[in-house]
Amino acid sequence: MADKLDAIRLTPKDWVDWGAFLGTGADLVAQRYPQARRWVLEPTEALAERSRQIWVAGHARPWWQAWKKSTPPVVSQGQPWPDAWPADGAGLLWANMALHAQADLDGALKAWHGALTINGFLMCSGLGPDTARELRAVYRELGWPLPTINFIDMHDLGDAMVKAGFLDPVMDMERLTLTWADATSMLAELRTWGGNVAWGRFAGLRTPRWRGRLIEVLNQHLRGPDGRLRLTVEVVYGHAIKPLPKVPLAEETRVSLGDMKRLIKAGGKPG
């Protein structure tokens, strides 16, 4: 996703790293905008603490280099915004591999929109609908419930971004093929990706017999011409600008205080 920053000509003074611990990419953004202040917003305090620890570990200095100090990011758990939050909002919100983790995508996009300043931009990505399509086909054949969530299509994401108030979203996607030597190795790695948040998933614990059946089926159905098990991963990307708010002309028009301040500062007019 960092490669897509080449098309952006804006230079943010502040940027939000949304879900930094799981999303990663902070070093690439920092290289692009070395003077920008980083704000880390995590969904839980446990992840916020992990983000703090990662920064400390990555910026530890020997005693003879104590003078080489880096400004630590402001790490917080969600909203309300931390103290000293920029009054007009941040210039960039970076949400790498965050789309599929949002239980309420419309609500998340609204929050991201609210975090940005006028002409600030959103960079986001997540898993698309072709992700694990081979695994879902196996589960359907066996009559088992869906093993994944219904990942969002990039066109639906674009519509949701417009609905949230973003201007002219640009969507993109790519498909990757991952391979493993056997089903045991594949399941071990998939388990590191996170929990199963699919609605209708099996609520209890599976038996060793069920696991043995799953491994047998995966080894049989997912093996490619090279003998390795194959699984598709689709990654959906989106970026968009937060435009100057449009205030419709009417006998009575209600405008939030924040939007009114932005309109005055930017010299905007009702549209």
What would the pLDDT profile of 123-153 be if each residue is shown by its tens digit?
A: 999 999 999 999 999 989 888 888 888 888 9
Total count of domains within the chain:
1
Is a pLDDT exceeding 80 seen at residue 68?
Answer: no
Sequence-distant (≥ 6) Cβ neighbours of residue 45 within 8 angstroms: 77
The reported pLDDT for the residue numbered 157 is 94
What's the first-to-final CA gap in the chain, in angstroms?
34
**Four-CA torsion 104, 2, 175, 200, nearest 10 degrees:** -20
Q: What is the pTM of this model?
A: 0.82
Question: Which range is least confidently modeled, 22-26, 67-71, 112-116?
Answer: 67-71
- Is 211 part of any domain? no
- Is 261 part of any domain? yes
- Is 201 part of any domain? no
86 compared with 253, residue with greater pLDDT = 86
- Is 145 part of any domain? no
For residue 68, give the CATH number of its domain.
3.40.50.150
173 compared with 79, residue with greater pLDDT = 173
What would the pLDDT profile of 13-39 be if each residue is shown by its tens digit?
A: 999 999 888 888 889 999 999 999 999
- Is 251 part of any domain? yes
* Domain extent at residue 73: 2-129+150-174+236-266
